[in-house]
Amino acid sequence: MKTMATLFAGAAPVGADHVRDVYRYAARKGSIEALEVAAADLGIGIHEMREAVDHLVASRLLRTEDNAVGRRYVPVDPEVATASLVSSVEREMYQRRELIDQIRERIDVFRQDDAGTGGQSSGSTSIEYLVGTMEVRGFLKMAGDACRDEVLILQSSKSDAEELSLAYLPLLGRGITVRIICQHRDRADLSTRMKIKKLTDAGAAVCTTSHIPRSAVVFDRSLVVLFGLSDGETNVARVHNHGVAQFFLDLFDHLWDGATPLEGVESGYANVADDLLQAIAGLMAKGYTDEIVARKLGMSVRSCRRHIATLMRDLDATSRFQAGVQAARRFSANLT
């Protein structure tokens, strides 16, 4: 059988038309029971038939089943075949990356000895940048598979949530501790609340806060993954460094202590109304526009303006800036 590399490198296989015809034949019949019969039905030689079937099996578009009569070939949905192949490629890719990291770590020992730094060489920090949805998802899966105890997640945007959510449930199913801090706005989004419910039902602990500057994940208190700030293609930086990991652990604990637990998905903003209004007021007092306030808090401009209107009405303020200053002072006084 062809390897993954030779299967997809270069031009299309010889007899590509036969490959398509054989797959369509299998899909129409439900399976290929005998290669000779299928070849005769399609009007091609047995050699071409075997070559096409071998290619389809290697491409995961046909799977083999042995029965009392012999071997049959069953068609597989193209989407399923694609997912299977991509998963294999990703796994191989990141196994090679882990091997590269191990080699670098071994060489760093000699670099540190040569520099006489007692293990504090600048080479002790490993930073790698990954760009592209497939690379990021593959790495997160590999990091999740290697995780043994705990995952801490800061989730600032909905796009990052889509990437991160792929790794949540498998970790929980293995008994890994998962703690997530997301933004208050996630309480108001129905689809996000349903996803959060699945996580909490599986054992995840979820809290929300008014603003998270950047998405990040810490695996086993040692590997830090930072999500890119770009609105374009998904990109992350992974960092192996004790000092950096400790900084993010301290940051996570600080945010966790001040965040509001998400104990149910039905309440929406009800449990965080004061915290949300306080955050809006603080940004208004700094003179930010409605659009910037909304972007910083991860909500729509329309929702943000509704909250601002409520603040101005309750405070009988004549300007946004005045309302922001008055509200910030009131919240500050309540805390004291």
Per-residue pLDDT reduced to its tens digit, 167-211: 677 788 888 899 999 887 777 666 676 777 778 888 888 888 878
The stretches of the chain forming alpha helices (DSSP H) are 4-8, 16-29, 35-42, 46-58, 78-115, 133-146, 158-173, 190-202, 242-258, 273-285, 290-297, 301-315, 320-335
pLDDT of 34 over the 80 cut: yes
Lowest average pLDDT, out of 34-43, 209-218, 251-260, 298-307, goes to: 298-307
295 or 273: whose pLDDT is higher? 295
The distance of Cα 82 from the centroid of its chain, to the nearest Å, equals 19
pLDDT of 151 reads 92
Per-residue pLDDT at 98? 67
Task: Give the Cα separation of 196 and 191 in Å (integer).
Answer: 9
> Where in the chain are all domains bearing CATH 1.10.10.10?
4-76, 270-335
Q: What is the share, in percent, of the chain residues with pLDDT greater than 90?
A: 9
* CATH 3.30.870.10 residue spans of the chain: 126-261
Topology of the domain comprising 126-261: Endonuclease; Chain A (3.30.870)
Q: What's the CATH fold of domain 4-76?
A: Arc Repressor Mutant, subunit A (1.10.10)
Higher-confidence residue of 131 and 103: namely 131
Is CATH 2.60.40.10 the right assignment for the domain spanning 270-335?
no
Residue 283 tokens read as 């940004």
User: How confident is the model over 63-81, as pLDDT tens digits?
Assistant: 888 877 778 899 888 877 7
Model confidence band, residue 82 (pLDDT cutoffs 50, 70, 90): confident
